[in-house]
Amino acid sequence: SQQGEEDPQALSIQEGENATMNCSYKTSINNLQWYRQNSGRGLVHLILIRSNEREKHSGRLRVTLDTSKKSSSLLITASRAADTASYFCATDIAGKSTFGDGTTLTVKP
List interacting residues with other proteins (CB under 8 A).
2, 4, 29-31, 33, 40-45, 48, 88, 90-93, 95-102
- When the beta carbons of 10 and 78 are compared against other proteins, the nearer one is 10
Q: How far is CA 40 from the centre of its chain?
A: 18
- When the beta carbons of 27 and 68 are compared against other proteins, the nearer one is 27
The b-or-e profile of 50-85 (16+ CB within 10 A means b, else e) is eeeeeeeeeeebbbbbeeeebbbbbebeebeeebbb
Shortest gap between Cβ of 49 and other proteins (angstroms)? Answer: 11
- When the beta carbons of 18 and 51 are compared against other proteins, the nearer one is 51
